[in-house]
Amino acid sequence: MPPIIEITNLSKQYHIGKRESYKTLRDTIVNAVKAPLRMFSKNGAEEDSTIWALKDVSFEVNEGEVLGIIGRNGAGKSTLLKILSRITEPTSGEIKIRGRVGSLLEVGTGFHPELTGRENIFLNGAILGMRREEIKKKFDEIVAFAEIEKFLDTPVKRYSSGMYVRLAFAVAAHLEPEVLVVDEVLAVGDAGFQKKCMGKMGEVAKGGRTVLFVSHNMGAVRKLCAKAVLLDGGHIKTIGSAEEVIADYLTEYSNNISPVVECPNVDKDAPGAATRLSFFTQDGIPHAQFRLGEPWQIVLDFEIVRPIPHVIAAIGITNLESLPLITYWTKPRDLMPGKYRAVFEFNLPLAATELQIGVGLSSQESAFYYVQNICNVSISDVAIGKQPLRSRGAGILCNVKDSEIMLIREI
């Protein structure tokens, strides 16, 4: 049996900074006149710089496979899914898909905001190529899964993002496309809904249909997918079993995350500023990737340039969608000019995830230094040496344990 998806030398190029939405006859004539002059521009460079989001990507997916697609932000994952879903055209290469594709790439993709939930179910089903009788047959099941019975006849523009994604996933998963494409949009839903979605995707795969799943949650990819693709800079870096590909990704990711980060000075007139963030394992080894359940440490160095009362140093932790998870702060202290260090001891109850770190300094409850997302750290349920560790829980949090925070000390 031939593969359900065949991708051969697929490439996608984007022009950076180009904002042309249409061309008039005058624009065409002017551009034709300017064209010979571009030959004399510096190094013959084009007016608009370009970037290859994908370059010469080739692989096959067999019917019934659940394929995980992973990689850092900007690796080309979403571009690949948009091309497979026919949202955008490739620059070059060839794709063969045998069957209908149901996509869930962004909240509300394929929905009309002025139409009700009921009307959008039929609209989205028609876009997927389903007959009205087929949609009617699955209608009650879709509504029950999405849990929107009370709002079925309300325009979807009044839906919350969670309601949007529940309905969008329910439609895409229940109308039985041969290929289901799911991006990280499921992160919008709550923990209970995410669990339902994971279960449904497992059912879809067991039913012989094909699933392409993009996620930064390595635990979810390992649980759902037998095979995975690692994209890096628009190229395929690794393709193979999910366990091997995830281990390769985490090894590379840990090598690219610096355990020491210099903090930006955002206001030269402020009474002080953070200067450096450092991360350490429980053994005092500089590192920015930690294994599940392992205690770790953040050291914040900062400098005070003039006397200031009631200083508090704070570390804020968010997920990759900038959802606040927890904030830790020191006890207030009156400080004279000098260099100081705050040490934060963590044993956070986190499942496998990637975290963003922010820093704040305040005086009498008024912030004089604050920077979000200075750097990232990774909590992994797969060890760097390719030895899998079992998670003690699902979602963001595991078993709760207290964390200790040391007081500010002068250095």
> In this structure, how many other beta carbons lie within 10 angstroms of the beta carbon of residue 375?
19
Q: Which of 241, 243, 232, 119 is nearest to 171 (CA)?
A: 119
CATH code of 258-410, in short, is: 2.70.50.60
Question: Do the beta carbons of residue 267 and residue 305 sit within 8 Å?
Answer: no
Name the token pair of 319. 């997920």
Q: How far apart are CA 176 and CA 138, in angstroms?
A: 9
Helix, strand, coil tally for the chain in percent (to 5)? 30, 35, 35
pLDDT at 361: 93
User: At residue 108, what is the residue type?
Assistant: G
φ, ψ (nearest 5 deg) of residue 299:
-110, 120
Contact 300, 315 (CB under 8 A): yes
Do residues 406 and 343 touch, judged by C-beta distance below 8 A? yes
**Does the pTM of the predicted model rise above 0.85?**
no
Could you report the per-residue pLDDT of 352-408, keeping only the tens digit for each?
A: 677 888 899 999 878 899 888 788 887 776 544 444 333 333 334 333 333 334 455
What is the reported pLDDT for 403?
A: 34
Q: What is the mean pLDDT of each run of 10 residues along the chain (411 residues)?
A: 90 73 54 54 54 92 90 85 87 89 66 90 81 89 89 89 80 79 66 75 79 80 88 92 84 69 86 93 83 85 94 85 77 92 80 80 88 80 44 35 45 58
Tell me the C-alpha distance between 282 and 285, whole Å: 7
DSSP annotation of 332: P
Q: How far, in Å, CA of 17 to CA of 27, rounded? A: 18
> Do residues 229 and 67 make contact, with C-beta atoms less than 8 angstroms apart?
yes
Element spanning 80, H or E = helix 77-84
Give the pLDDT confidence score for residue 402 in this predicted structure.
33
Q: For residue 79, how many C-alpha atoms fall within 13 Å in the half-sphere facing its CB? A: 24
Task: Go through 329-366 and write b for each residue having 16 or more CB atoms within 10 A of its CB, e for each that does not.
Answer: bbebbebeeeebbbbbbbebbbbbbbbbbbbbbbbeee
pLDDT of residue 93: 93
d(CA 5, CA 2): 9
Alpha helices in 130-283 (DSSP H): 132-146, 161-174, 191-206, 218-224, 242-256
Superfamily covering domain 5-12+54-254: P-loop containing nucleotide triphosphate hydrolases (3.40.50.300)
Those residues with Cβ within 8 angstroms of residue 351's Cβ, 6 or more apart along the chain or in another chain: 219, 292, 379, 381, 391, 392, 393, 394, 395, 396, 397, 398
Contacts of 2 (CB under 8 A, 6+ apart): 98
- List all residues 6 or more positions away from 33 whose beta carbon is below 8 Å from its beta carbon: none
Dist CA 404 CA 365 (whole Å): 22
Give φ, ψ of 294 to 5 degrees: -85, 130
* Residue spans per domain, the chain: 5-12+54-254, 258-410
**Which residue is listed with tokens 């993709």?**
109
